[in-house]
Amino acid sequence: MSISLKKIVSVLNASWLGLKNETEIENISIDSRSLQNSPSTLFFAIVGANNDAHNYIEDLISIGVQNFVVQYVPEGLEEKANFILVQNSLKALQQFAVFYRNKFEFPVIGLTGSNGKTIVKEWLNFLLSPDFNVIRSPKSYNSQVGVPLSIVAINEKHNLGIFEAGISTTAEMQHLEKVIQPTIGVLTNIGSSHDEGFASIEEKIQEKLQLFDHAEILIYQKNKLVDPFIKPSSKTFSWSFEDQNADVYIYNKEIVNLETVIYYNYGGAKSHFKIPFVDRASIENAISCMMVLLYLKYDSAIIQARMGLLFPVEMRLKVKNGINNCTLVDDSYSSDFQSLKIALDFLESQKQFQNKTVILSDIFQSGLVNEELYERVSQLIISNNVNRVIGIGDTISDFKDKFANCITYNNTAEFIADFEHIDFSNETILVKGARSFQFEEIVALLEEKTHETVLEINLNAISYNLNFFKSKLKPGVKIMVMVKAFGYGNGGLEIANLLEHHNVDYLGVAFADEGISLKHGGIKTPIMVLNPENTSFGAIIQHQLEPEIYCLKGLHAFLKIAKQKNLKDFPIHIKIDTGMHRLGFEVDTIPELIATLKGNNTVKVKSILSHLATSDDPLQRDFAVSQINLFEELSSQIVRELAINPIRHILNTSGISNFPDNQFNMVRLGIGLYGVSNDPKEQKYLETVGTLKSVISQVRVIQAGESVGYGRKFVANRVTRVATIPIGYADGISRGLGNGVGYINVKDQKARILGNVCMDMIMVDVTEIDCTEGDSVIVFGDKPTVSYIAKKLNTIPYEILTSISQRVKRVFYR
């Protein structure tokens, strides 16, 4: 892209408040944290429900970004950069994308539907890439923001586009339609449920179909629900399993081993193809792809050959623990320029280590000539501060000189042969390669070897939950997130990294050593230590942690050390006991607290806090109110008499939900971030963060009268299939779940726990479930939920989450 600012101002019909509008814009950004921002970036400052990007403009200017689309010019920045003033930055981004889209004339496939969009997109890309220079949306960039960002990545060399559009409510598709302007429309599986955000399934269908309003053809599965809403003027190309009047009639499908043969009749001619999948969704997705190939006049021999090579689509970047204390970012299934940019941004958000290595295969489908492509890749690598590049493939080897610290191999096998001579330690490694390079073998070598039980942590769900609670805060109210006990068992540093990425104001830990390990991990966000022991004050000061001080004895001890070290204004947090009776200054010690702090400048009261005992219990609301009132009174007294202006805070997760008027200056979010609410109504709005997964080690059949496990506590009364799972009470599975109390999820069905829970294993009943050794199972996640298990065990979700032992590997993904 190379477009003058002047042109953009006129395209957006905007006011210009700038210095020089001769600048050429080379790329578009909305992410203030991306290291790819540069003087030729145009930054759209988007105002979201929880985040106003205008707040980052000052920082961006300081690193050299000069061009901004804004809704207002932040105070003090006038004349410091070029500003294009618009009513709504998101709308402006879409408007710009429409303008940009109109510069290109090639066929564009637009996909929407409830399921399958991303898979169909990736498959079509694979099927069509031998014949076209394809530009497609990266990952699942299909939103109001993601679609325009996908479109502006088109360049002169592309000659086919594939873009997906996702919507969550009405009046959204019309915008995406204008941006994508599909010539070929594909409606994937529409689903039978009506999603939140739509009044009915009919409304959802009507809205989705708007994507195809101007397409030359609509490809879809004939369907009684959809048909009535297709405009008579629309040309369609339909398929069906049942309806012989469809353009393509699927008259048979046959499952053999792990493959499905699909037989179809098109224009009177019979033909078939085979795919390496057997599930219904894959079959439908494959047929959608075949329809596009038929429409583009591919012959059946090519269709047969290419469909047979379809593969499972890996849609997410995975973060894994690597050998020698490395962190791996596994993106081993694609290598195109757009997704490289995304992966590098993601790599930047992983702050565990200074050192970064990228293992990169040849890059396909950039639309650029190689010389220019690898020049651009090299610039990306430089701007992301990558220390080392390991290039694998003939082409990247030819361009080795473009990279500063680079070794290359002609193919994956050569790299593997040399593996033990390469040093990988204490660094973050991005593994990114095209499918054909089989980088999964490299990931297997680099991955830390542990047993098969893992706790998968969905980082997107954490972001989502954070934003959900942030949206409940009044303007200006800060947020502290509790990451004590390894982030409630979910992972300490990884989650702290993400929270820092989201600019939370404070992190909270229970003990000094938790805070120290976060500091060692590079966390810069201020950290409050809830429960500092006097013996740890030295370490707290050394590592710039901020102690909560909760009694006179602790205060005097801390002041003594602070004085010895000649500290000035060292931040501390004062906790008052308003009724919880756990930690905190009691009412009658407040005068002495004030007297001690008066005129003392070794420390500075950063905040005053208290903690509610009954915020989750509507029946004990009065007690919480009395605590809040006492807190208001005591904290005001301290503020007044010391003439200070600290942050005041009392609400935890259920406090945020139940006492919206008492947020003071900050709230302390804990369990809610991890996707658990004490309120079933609110639970619906949260996303599951942790999924505890394991596998089936062995399956056996026992006869009626035979028993299972220690003490023979389960005796079969019929022929029973028993599966053994390698997870037990040493991993945090309570013995209380044994003997039929709990179940696990096998293939989406309940498998009761049989007999006693062992130290490292459980046995479950899979008599009615079609499963085999090696199959994955879910111990908790969406089903059963942590809350369900807690209820069965007469405890609370907090205990279940924090009991998962550290020997269970945590895998983070988004």
Ligand X SMILES: *Cc1c(COP(=O)(O)O)cnc(C)c1O
Q: Which residues bind ligand X (CB under 6 A)?
A: 482, 530, 611, 652-653, 668-672
Determine the 3-state secondary structure of 1 from DSSP: coil
- Among 61, 69, 86, smallest CA distance to 30 is for 69
Peptide bond into 148 cis (omega under 30): no
Q: Which CB, 412 or 652, lies closer to ligand X?
A: 652
Min CB(674)–ligand X separation in Å: 8
484 included as an active-site residue: yes
Tokens standing for residue 553? 């004895």
- CA 107, CA 596: separation in Å to the nearest integer? 75
Min CB(752)–ligand X separation in Å: 31
Strands 184-187 and 749-754: unpaired
Q: Which CB, 607 or 720, lies closer to ligand X?
A: 607
Amino acid at site 702: I
Going from the C-alpha of 575 to that of each of 530, 626, 650, the distances in angstroms are 9, 17, 10
156 contacts: CB under 8 Å, gap ≥ 6? 367
Say if CB 25 and CB 84 are below 8 A apart: no
Active-site annotation holder among 117, 351, 484, 575: 484
H-helix or E-strand containing 280?
A: helix 280-295
**DSSP strand E in 410-564: where?**
428-432, 454-458, 478-482, 506-509, 527-529, 546-549
Active-site annotation holder among 7, 103, 235, 710: 710
Tokens standing for residue 318? 């995975």
Amino acid at site 485: A
Count of CB atoms within 10 A of residue 201's CB?
17
Residues in the chain, total? 814
449 included as an active-site residue: no
Say if CB 320 and CB 326 are below 8 A apart: no
506 contacts: CB under 8 Å, gap ≥ 6? 478, 479, 480, 481, 525, 526, 527, 528, 666
Count of CB atoms within 10 A of residue 374's CB?
24
Place of tokens 């500290």: 567
Residue 806 backbone dihedrals phi, psi, to 5 degrees: -70, -10
Q: Within the chain, what is the greatest distance between any pair of CA atoms?
A: 95
Using a CB cutoff of 8 Å and minimum separation of 24, what contacts does 99-106 make? 99/11, 100/1, 100/3, 100/151, 100/152, 100/154, 101/151, 101/154, 101/179, 101/180, 101/181, 102/181, 104/154, 104/158, 104/161, 106/158, 106/159, 106/160, 106/161
Tokens standing for residue 165? 């559009």
The catalytic residues are 484, 710
